[in-house]
Structures are given as C-alpha cells and as structure tokens.
Amino acid sequence: MKVLVINCGSSSLKYQLIDSDTENVLAKGLCERIGIDGRLVYQKAGLDKEITEAPMPTHKEAIQMVLDALTNEKTGAIKSLSEVEAIGHRVVHGGEKFASSTLINDDVIKAVEECNELAPLHNPANLIGIRVCAELMPGVPQVAVFDTAFHQTMPPKAFLYGLPLKYYKDYKVRRYGFHGTSHSFVSKRAVEFLGLDKDNSKVIVCHLGNGSSISAVVNGKCIDTTMGLTPLEGMIMGTRSGNIDPAIMEYVAKKENLDIKGIMNVLNKKSGLFGLSGDLSSDLRDLESAAGEGNENAKHALEVLAYDVAKFVGGYVAAMNGVDAIVFTAGIGENSGTVRKMVVQYFGYLGITLDEEANNTRGEEIVISTPDSKVKVAVIPTNEELAICRDTVALVK
Ligand code: ADP
C-alpha cells in the first residue's frame, strides 16, 4: 500500500510517500515559506533533489504542488493519485482525548480542534493539512498520529503538577509529553534489537535533537517524560531553556521590561544551547567545533546538555527501580559521539562502560556499551514517518 505521510507546520510541510509493503520511501521533500513566497523541495528515491520556487499563499497550493510533483510525468513516483491508498498525518496535541492513533472523521476533527488551545502554533496547521487532503483526495482514508498519545499511559503522579487542582480540572494543565511517535518507535525497536523481554523491560529513550526529550518506558508503556504541558519543559534544547526556576520570569521581565509574550519568546527562541553559548549557535555541530577551538561558552553549553541528560536518566532509573537499556536517538543522539561520551561518563554507578570504537560509528543501530556492561546503551535512529505509515496502515487495512 502507498501511504502519503504529511507533517504540516505553520509555514512548512514535510512529506514522504512510503510503500508500506517494502517500507521504502518512494519520494520525499518539503514545502517551505508557505504564505510568504513558497519553495518546494522534491526528491524521488534514487534521483537528485529538485527545488522549485513558486507562490504558495496557503497550504492548499503547497499540497497541490506536492501532489503534482508526485505524479509528474518525468520524475513522479506514481502515475496517478489513485495509487495513494491512505494518508497519515502527524498531529501534535491530542490532549487527553487520544491515547493512540485514529482514523479521521468529523468527530476526530472536532476533538483535535478542541486541543488547539494547548498547541496554538501546531494543531491548527495540522488540521489545515487534513482538510486540504480531504478536499484534494476525496475518499482516501486519513489517519491522525499524535505526538502526545504514547505518553497517555503516565500515571497521575507523573503527569500532575504541584499547582491548584482546579488548573488541571478546568484548564487541563498537566504533563502531556511530546515526540511520542519517536519514543514509541525507538523503545519498541530497542526491545527487539537488544533482545529484551518486552513484558519485562525498562528502557530510557533520550531523543536529543533541536527539541529534546527523555522518556521512561516500562514493558512498552511510557511512565514519565521530560516535556510537559508544552515542549518547553525538561532538558536544555537548541533554543529552548527547558526547566528553570519559574520566578526567573518575573525577575527578568522587570529587568528587561518584557511582558509575558516577550519572556516566552526568550525562553523558546533565545535560550537553550543558543543562549548559553552567548548567542553563538543552537546547532550542536557549531558548538562542538567552537568548543574544540577553546570557546568556553560553547564548552559550558555542551556540559550543561550532558549533565541534564545524566540527571533525568538518573531520575528515571530511580522511578523505574532499575533500567535495562538507555537509548540515544534523533539528530544529536544519533550523530554526536562527543555528547554520548560525555553523558555515558556519568553512568559508572550503573556498571556501564563505553565502547569507544562503537561510539564513533555513525548512522546505524549499534550497541555502544561494552559487552560486560550491566546495562546496555545503544544508538537507534528514529523514523517518525515510518511509524506514522505503520499506524496508518494498521488502521485502514
Ligand atoms: P529537530 O528537533 O529539528 O528534528 P534533529 O533531530 O534533526 O532536530 O537534530 C538537530 C540537531 O542534531 C542539531 O543540533 C544538529 O547540530 C545535530 N546534528 C546533526 N548532525 C550532527 C552531527 N553529524 N554531529 C553532531 N550533531 C549533529
């Protein structure tokens, strides 16, 4: 079955056409600058990327351009749109309404709309993608795959904040967690790859990218995760602060004459590795090379990152009363042997020793702890699009 996977952002859209039987990507790309000017990147498997600048006033024109590229006579991956048998959409926030992926119908759209307030930048864009696909490809079943769904198994002690209960009851203020599709995919794969017993397993997934989150997974079910009501909570990220003393907000607001919006902008866009490195970069590669050249701010940013990961992992080892495997994934987790080494140095108390040679390997599933380590540490590349494709097929078949 050919499945179109769509991840709609506010001004961008990523897509992949996947053959679910072989799990091969037939074509992929993205639309950028939707509503500004418009740029389509399209790549059929085995061919070079094509870049087309063209006006995309709304997501409708963007999706139409993707469909035209997919069916283009010369470079299209399919002959006709009728070959697309299902569409899977990434939806950021499913609130407490969705604990798993679901076939989209009018009731689902309404329920997703009710979660818009919890993810005002993302959910409305996801819904536009769903509506435009329904219009341009009527009759093709669509599935919503939620970033929050995997974390819905967290118990109240993990998802409640120490705030007036009214905020949870009336405004749904609680920990939801994000990157769920990745945490689910990687934790399942870890159990298979490492030969763990799926009904008796304790896995910690460190999804370290621009946005980063860590989750604790017992017997395949998430019991805790670092992101919260929003993706701002938890560990330090590319430009997001992660956890801070909430009172800093009032203190800095007065000093810098900022309102709530201004403070939120700082916490989301000007903090994290970027802010801590003295506005050097949010990109880990830049920080690694600056640190290599002796830049102290870059060094501190890397140290805070590794220390944060080690502390959350330690907390989850305590929460699970043990751990069988610690897994790194996403841009930093998969690619930075330097960060992994810095993190693993904290794990001596778990009986873990780093296999330096394995740690220097890139781009594949690999165990990076030595055979005599008491807990396994591994790198497992995430693949959110494939996870969305699999869920979509399972629901439409
Ligand atoms: P997003 O959250 O945007 O999906 P990614 O998972 O793509 O982010 O991760 C982006 C991060 O991964 C960036 O900080 C980038 O520097 C880092 N990264 C990518 N490739 C490498 C590499 N070869 N070495 C070190 N860091 C890398």
- pLDDT tens-place string over residues 77-90: 999 999 999 999 99
> How much is the pLDDT for 253?
97
> What is the best residue among 213, 284, 309, 364 to mutate for testing ligand 1's pocket, by most ligand atoms within 8 Å of CB?
284
Q: State the chain's mean pLDDT as an integer.
A: 97
Q: Residue 358 — pLDDT band, cuts 50, 70, 90? A: very high
Q: Which domains does the chain have, with CATH numbers?
A: 2-146 (3.30.420.40), 196-379 (3.30.420.40)
Q: Which residue has the higher pLDDT, 121 or 366?
A: 366
* Both structure tokens of 187: 């934790």
210 lines ligand 1 (CB under 6 A): yes
Instruction: Kindly tell me the number of DSSP H helices and DSSP E strands found in the chain.
Output: 15, 14
Crossing angle of helices 123-136 and 106-114, in 10° steps, is 160
pLDDT interval class at 10 (50, 70, 90): confident
Ramachandran region of residue 35, left (φ > 0), alpha (ψ -120 to 50) or beta?
left
**Rounded distance between C-alpha atoms, residue 380 and residue 34, angstroms:** 33
Residues 317-344: pLDDT tens digits? Answer: 999 999 999 999 999 999 999 999 999 9
pLDDT at 121 over 90: no
Q: How far is CA 70 from CA 32, 38, 41, 163, 274, in A?
A: 17, 17, 11, 50, 37
- Residue 55 has a CB neighbour count (10 Å cut-off) of 12
Residue of 181, 240, 285 best suited for mutating to test ligand 1, as the one with most atoms within 8 Å of CB = 285
pLDDT digits over 224-282, tens only?
A: 999 999 999 999 999 999 999 999 999 999 999 999 999 999 999 999 999 999 999 99
Residues 364 and 71 sit within 8 Å (Cβ to Cβ): no
Q: What are phi and psi of 95, to 5 degrees?
A: 50, -140
What confidence tens digit (pLDDT) does each residue in 12-67 have? 999 999 999 999 999 999 999 999 999 999 999 999 999 999 999 999 999 999 99
Name residues whose C-beta falls within 8 Å of residue 338's C-beta, 6 or more positions apart in sequence: 288, 302
Band (pLDDT 50/70/90 cuts) for residue 11 is: confident
333 in ligand 1 pocket by Cβ < 6 Å? no
pLDDT of residue 363: 83
Q: In 3D, which of 146, 150, 107 has the Cα closest to residue 7?
A: 146
CB of 381 shorter than 6 A to ligand 1 = no
What is the pLDDT at residue 162? Answer: 98
Cα-to-centroid distance, 286 and ligand 1 (Å): 10
pLDDT at 104: 98
Give the pLDDT confidence score for residue 9 in this predicted structure: 86
Question: Is pLDDT of 362 > 90?
Answer: no
φ, ψ dihedrals at 76, nearest 5°: -65, 155
Classify residue 251 by burial, with Cβ atoms within 10 Å: 0-12, 13-18, 19+.
Answer: exposed
* Rounded Cα distance, 51 and 37, in Å: 14
